[in-house]
Amino acid sequence: MNTQETIKQQVSTHPVVLYMKGTPGAPQCGFSAHAVKVLNACGVDDIFAVDVLSEPEIRQGIKEYSNWPTIPQLYINGEFVGGSDIVSEMYQSGELQKLLKK
């Protein structure tokens, strides 16, 4: 399976996927930590997290897959949601919570 197939499989088989630097318990950047914090605030405790620092092919591949240049990247029910800023804005507006309940 190539990198793009691996990513497609990950986002299509897990309801919440976060491509991040580090892990939810030990984020390696502030933006990743913030994304985890927002998801936890929404009651999400089952995050399928991919540490892009330990998987360089995924780190580059996810940017190509989503056509989005930065990490973290959040996927909900197979759909790309956005990075840390978008996740934060969606949380503040209540949009993220609605998306997670679907």
DSSP designation for 74: E
pTM of the shown model: 0.95
Burial class (CB in 10 A: 0-12, 13-18, 19+), 46: exposed
Distance (Å, rounded) from C-alpha 62 to C-alpha 98?
A: 25
Please give the pLDDT value at position 1. 83
The per-residue pLDDT for range 27-80, each reduced to its tens digit, is 999 999 999 999 999 999 889 999 999 999 999 999 999 999 999 999 999 999
Number of domains in the chain: 1
Cβ count within 10 A of residue 99:
16
Does 29 count as an annotated binding residue? yes
Its domain, for residue 34, covers 3-101
Confidence band for 102, pLDDT divided at 50, 70 and 90: confident
CATH number of the structural domain spanning residue 67: 3.40.30.10
DSSP 28: S
